[in-house]
Structure 1
Amino acid sequence: MLDARGMTAIIRAASAHDFLALVPTLAGFRPERSLLCIVFSGNRSVGVLRHDLPLAEVDHDRLVAAVIGTICRIVDIDAIVPVIYTDARFADNGGMPERALLELVADRAGQAGFVVRDALCQAADGWSSLLDPDAPAMGHPLVLIESSAAVNDVPDGDRIAAGDRPGAGLPPANPARAASVAAALAEFRDLPSLEGAMSELGRDADPVELVETLIARPRRRPVDARRLAWFVHLASRPPFRDAMMLQIAFGRMVGELAHEVSHAPHDTAAAEIAAADLDHDDRGHAERADLDEVLARLIMGRSMLRPDRARVERALAVLGDAIAHAPAAGRSGSLCIAGWLAWTQGRGSVAGAFLDSALECDPAHSMSSLLAEYIGSGALPEWVFVRPERTDEHHGAISGP
C-alpha cells in the first residue's frame, strides 16, 4: 500500500537513526510489523510503500516482486530506502531479524536500477543498517532514534504521537453533539417523519447539494448536527454512498452522473469489483461506453483522472467528525467512504484501517469487504503512479539518510 502524506517543511536526516526517527512523519503513523519502502525522486521523498511482514519465508519472493514491481510504475523514482519494523529481537535471533527479507529487497531494487541509499531494520530491542559493515551484531540502541533531534524540525501539525496508528486520528466526540446526531438519524429512519426532517434541510436534502455544501470550500465552523446526520444516513445507502464519494473526489458533474445511474436496484460498484475478481489486469482496450462501468472504473482506480486533493482532504475532515459522533451501528457507510478516499490519495494503510473499522461495525458490509480485499491485495489507483502538478506535490521532503 502506498502511503503518501503531505508535509509542510523540508527536513534533512543526517544519519540513519535520524532517518528512522522521521519515517513515522513520512508515513503518517508509527509502523508495526511492516516492510516499508521510502521512495525518492532525487532528494525528495515521494511516498512510502507498506506491506505486512510475511508470515513465512516462502512468501518473501512473491512479496518482494510485488513491491519492486509497484515501485517501477512510479514515475521519476530513482532511489529507495527499505525499512523493516518487527517485534522480534536482535538478542533472540543472534543478529538482525528479517535479514533475509531485507537483503532480498535491496538486491532486487538494485537489479531494477534503483539506488539503495540504506536498508534498515528496527526491532524490539535495537536497530541496524544492512549496509553498515561496522554495525554491532546486536544492533544500535533504540534510544538513538527516540532522542533524535531531527524531529525538532518537524512542524507541530505534522508530528506523529507515540500511539498513532493508521486510521486512529478521529476527533474526540462531544456527547451533546453525538446525542443530536443520533436523534436526527433516528428521525431520518422513521419514514413517517422523513419528509418533515428533509424539509428543514432545504436544498441540502439533495445529496449533490449536500456534498458541495460540506466540502466545496474550507469550512470556518463545524457542520451542524442535522446535516452531519443526513450525510451519515445517505452514506448508509449504497447508491447514494457510491455517488457521493465519486462526487467528493471528482467533482459535482461526476456526482450528478453517478446519481443518474444510482437508481438501479443493485450495488453497482460492489458488483463491478466482485466481477473483476480483484484482477489488476488492464482490460480497458475496448471502449467503455456504458456510464455505469465508467463510474465503477473510477471507484476501482482504473483511470488517470486524478481526484481533487483539496476536496478529498476537506471531506476526510467532515467524515472524521461524522464517524466520531455517529452511533457505531450507523458508521459503516461513512467509514467505507473514508477508506476509499484515503486510498485515492495513496494512503493504503489508512484506507485499510478505515475499512477494518467499517467491518467491525457491520461484518456484512459488502462494499467495505470488497474494497478491503481489493486494496489489501496491493491494488493502487493508476493516478498515483503519475507525478502531480507542482501545486499538488507533497511539500515536505526528507533527504538522507
Structure 2
Amino acid sequence: MPHNSRRLLPTRSKAASSPTRRLRESNPDSPLAQIRGPTGEHSGGMHPTIVKAQKAQDFLALVPQLLGFAPETSAVLVAFRGNRTCGALRFNLPDDGASLKVYKRIATTLAGMLCKIPGVDAVVPVIYTDDSFITAVGIPREQFAEILNRRLEWSGFLLRDSLCVAADAWGSYLDPKCPAGGHPLNDIAESPVNTAANEGAGTKTVRPLGTLQNGADPVGVHPATQERLARIYRRYRHLLARAENSPPLFDALGVALDPVAIAEEALTWPNPPIEENVAALLVLVQSPPNRDQIMVQFAFGRDEGVRAHAINGRYARLQHETGRSLDDLVAEEIDIGDPTAEHTGDIMLGLQCERPDIDRIRVAITLLRLVVAMAPRSARPAPLCMLAWLSWALGSGSVAGFFVDQALAIESQYSMAILLKLLLDSGHLPEWAFAVPQHDDDDNDDADEKSESYELDDDFDQNWGEDFDERAAGR
C-alpha cells in the first residue's frame, strides 16, 4: 500500500446521503438493535429468536456473540446493510505510539476492506484495548478512533456510533457527556442480551466465549490415546510403503483409503473419533494432493472433492509418463489457460465468490484440532495447515496464523506452511468473505425471517447519534 496519506479514499459504489457525525442521544425505552439468536443447525422453518438491545452497552454485549469470541486489543467494524448487520471485521489494534501517518494508512485500509462488502451503508467501530480510562486523557485510543471515524465517513458510511471497551470501563467517542472514568464494564457483563441471545438454543445460560487465541489452543488428549494412534498410524504407513511394490495391495488400500469417501465420512465421525479412522485420515493428508483435496472437500462439498481427486489422478499419471514435477505441470497448465488448473488455484487462493459451506468447515475444524492433538508430532504440519486454510476461509486470518506458526515450529521448511504465511502476511482475504449470502439477496419478509444477524429498529438513528479478521492490518 502506498504510504501517501493524500491518496484517494475508498468509497462505496452507492454513497450514503450526508454521512455526518452524530451524537448519541440515549433513550432507554427504545430498542437500538436486535440479534437473531441461534436456532440450531438446519432449523428449516423455525424462526430465530429476536433479542433487542436497548442501550449501547447491550450492543457491546452482542458484538462478541457476532464475532464468536471475546476480542482483545482489536478494532472491530460492525457493518450494516440497511437494518441488518452483515458482518464484523476484526483488525489488530495499532500500537498506541504509532505515528499519525501509520494511523491514517491503517484507517484507510480498514475503510477499504469495508467497501468490499456489497451494500454496506453504515458502521459502528468498536475499539477494544487494555488501556485504562483512569490513565488516559479522554477515552483511550481516541486519536486513532477519530482518524478511523473520519476515514469511514469520507468513504460514504453512516457512523451510527463509535465505542471503546477498555480495561476498566467503556464509553462512546461520540458522546460529549461520557464520564471521565467511563461507564462500568458491569453494564456490558450484566446486559440481559447475554442470556437472551442463547434462548433460541433452549437455554438461558450465558454462552462462554474464548479469546481469539483459544481458537488455536491445543486440545487435551490422553497420552494412551496418542500412543494407540501412533501405533496404528505407523502400521498404515508401513502398508503404504509395501503397496508401492505390490499392485494387489495397492489396489486394496486404494479402496480402503479412498480420500473422497473418507473426507465425507469424517464429517460424521463421533467426537472423539476412533483411532483407526484418525490414523487413516492422517496418513492420507501426508500426501499434499490428498491433503488439498480433502481440505477443499471439507469446505465446498463432495463434488469439489471428486473434481480435485480426478485432477490429482491426472497429474500423477502425467508425472509418471513425463518424469516432470507436479509444480512444473501445474504451472504449465496455468500458463496456457487450462480452466481446470485455474479453478483449483482460484479456490486455494480465495479468488472466487462462491461461498464455502460454513457448517462443514466448523465441523472439520473441530475434527482436525482433535486429529492434531492425537497425532505424532512429525505428522502434525499437514492437518495444522488444513486448519490454517479453513480458518482463513472463514475470514479468521489471525487464528490461521497461529496454526501456521505451530506447523513451522515443527517443520520450518514445510512448503504449504510457508505459502500460507506469505498469503496471510499479504493481508489477502478470500473474495467469498465479501459476497452477499443468497438469503440476503432478497428483501422480502420471508428471507428476513430466515437470516441470522443483528437488526436495528427504525428509530435507531434517533437514539444513537459476526469472524473476518485481518492479520496484517496492525503492521
TM range (shorter): 0.7 to 0.9
Following the alignment from structure 2 to structure 1, what is the Cα–Cα distance between the partners of residues 166 and 83?
27
Which residue in 1 is equivalent to 2:258? 206
Of 52, 67, 75, the residue aligned with 1:12 is: 52
Which residue in 2 is equivalent to 1:104? 147
TM, length-normalised to structure 1:
0.83
- Offset of residue 307 of structure 1: 2.1
Give the SS at the match of 1:40.
strand
Following the alignment from structure 1 to structure 2, what is the Cα–Cα distance between the partners of residues 364 and 344?
23
- Offset of residue 317 of structure 1: 2.9
Q: Aligned pair in 2 of structure 1 residues 346, 254: CA closer, same or farther (>3 Å)?
A: farther
- Offset of residue 74 of structure 1: 0.6
Which residue in 1 is equivalent to 2:94? 54
Contact persistence 2:219–2:369 (CA under 8 A): yes
Letter aligned with residue 57 of structure 2: H
Q: Aligned pair in 2 of structure 1 residues 198, 47: CA closer, same or farther (>3 Å)?
A: farther
Which residue in 1 is equivalent to 2:398? 349
Following the alignment from structure 2 to structure 1, what is the Cα–Cα distance between the partners of residues 455 and 401?
25
Following the alignment from structure 1 to structure 2, what is the Cα–Cα distance between the partners of residues 6 and 59?
38
- Offset of residue 374 of structure 1: 1.5
Which residue in 2 is equivalent to 1:239? 289
Which residue in 2 is equivalent to 1:161? 209
Which residue in 1 is equivalent to 2:355? 306
Give the SS at the match of 1:90.
coil
Following the alignment from structure 1 to structure 2, what is the Cα–Cα distance between the partners of residues 253 and 87?
48
Contact persistence 2:226–2:375 (CA under 8 A): yes
Please state if 1:329 is matched with 2:378. yes
Which residue in 2 is equivalent to 1:277? none
Which residue in 2 is equivalent to 1:31? 71
Which deviates more, 336-345 or 152-161?
A: 152-161
Contact persistence 2:64–2:209 (CA under 8 A): no
Following the alignment from structure 2 to structure 1, what is the Cα–Cα distance between the partners of residues 130 and 382?
34
Following the alignment from structure 2 to structure 1, what is the Cα–Cα distance between the partners of residues 360 and 325?
28
Q: Aligned pair in 2 of structure 1 residues 83, 331: CA closer, same or farther (>3 Å)?
A: same
Please state if 1:152 is matched with 2:195. yes
Which deviates more, 289-298 or 5-14?
A: 5-14
Following the alignment from structure 2 to structure 1, what is the Cα–Cα distance between the partners of residues 357 and 337?
23
Of 454, 458, 465, the residue aligned with 1:397 is: 454
Contact persistence 1:121–1:129 (CA under 8 A): yes
Of 53, 56, 79, the residue aligned with 2:122 is: 79
- Offset of residue 225 of structure 1: 1.4
- Offset of residue 205 of structure 1: 0.8
- Offset of residue 88 of structure 1: 1.6
- Offset of residue 135 of structure 1: 0.2
Two-structure CA RMSD over aligned residues (Å) = 3.4
Q: Aligned pair in 2 of structure 1 residues 158, 168: CA closer, same or farther (>3 Å)?
A: farther
Contact persistence 2:72–2:211 (CA under 8 A): no
Letter aligned with residue 380 of structure 1: L
- Offset of residue 16 of structure 1: 1.6
Question: Within 5 Å, which residues of 2 pair with 1:224-235?
Answer: 224-235=274-285
Give the SS at the match of 1:167.
helix
Following the alignment from structure 1 to structure 2, what is the Cα–Cα distance between the partners of residues 163 and 304?
29
TM, length-normalised to structure 2:
0.71
- Offset of residue 35 of structure 1: 1.1
Give the SS at the match of 2:143.
helix
Which residue in 1 is equivalent to 2:408? 359
Give the SS at the match of 1:50.
strand
Please state if 1:256 is matched with 2:309. yes
- Offset of residue 170 of structure 1: 6.2
Which residue in 2 is equivalent to 1:143? 186
Which deviates more, 383-392 or 145-154?
A: 383-392
Contact persistence 2:77–2:88 (CA under 8 A): yes
Q: Aligned pair in 2 of structure 1 residues 92, 135: CA closer, same or farther (>3 Å)?
A: same
Letter aligned with residue 257 of structure 1: A
Letter aligned with residue 78 of structure 1: D
**Cα deviation per residue 1:266-302 (whole Å; 9 max; x = unaligned)?**
6759x98xxxxxxxxxxx9x98325334312210011
Of 53, 61, 85, the residue aligned with 1:45 is: 85
**Cα deviation per residue 1:167-222 (whole Å; 9 max; x = unaligned)?**
2476542444333222222223446875499899773412222212223xx45665
Higher-Rg structure is 2
Give the SS at the match of 1:291.
helix
Contact persistence 1:239–1:259 (CA under 8 A): yes
Q: Aligned pair in 2 of structure 1 residues 40, 174: CA closer, same or farther (>3 Å)?
A: farther
Which residue in 2 is equivalent to 1:280? none
Following the alignment from structure 1 to structure 2, what is the Cα–Cα distance between the partners of residues 105 and 118?
12
Which residue in 1 is equivalent to 2:429? 380
Letter aligned with residue 23 of structure 1: V
Q: Aligned pair in 2 of structure 1 residues 176, 46: CA closer, same or farther (>3 Å)?
A: farther
Contact persistence 1:239–1:267 (CA under 8 A): no
Following the alignment from structure 2 to structure 1, what is the Cα–Cα distance between the partners of residues 389 and 122?
29
Following the alignment from structure 2 to structure 1, what is the Cα–Cα distance between the partners of residues 89 and 415?
27
Contact persistence 1:268–1:292 (CA under 8 A): no
Count of matched residue pairs: 382
Letter aligned with residue 182 of structure 1: A
Letter aligned with residue 60 of structure 2: L
Indicate the percent of aligned positions where both proteins have the same amino acid.
35
Following the alignment from structure 2 to structure 1, what is the Cα–Cα distance between the partners of residues 369 and 259?
19
Following the alignment from structure 2 to structure 1, what is the Cα–Cα distance between the partners of residues 356 and 274?
26
Letter aligned with residue 214 of structure 1: A
Q: Aligned pair in 2 of structure 1 residues 221, 21: CA closer, same or farther (>3 Å)?
A: closer
- Structure 2 unpaired stretches of 5+: 1-35, 40-48, 441-446, 465-475
Contact persistence 1:332–1:358 (CA under 8 A): yes
Contact persistence 1:11–1:398 (CA under 8 A): no
Which residue in 1 is equivalent to 2:108? 65
Give the SS at the match of 1:93.
coil
- Offset of residue 49 of structure 1: 0.8
Q: Aligned pair in 2 of structure 1 residues 306, 192: CA closer, same or farther (>3 Å)?
A: closer
Contact persistence 2:71–2:212 (CA under 8 A): no
Which deviates more, 390-399 or 337-346?
A: 390-399
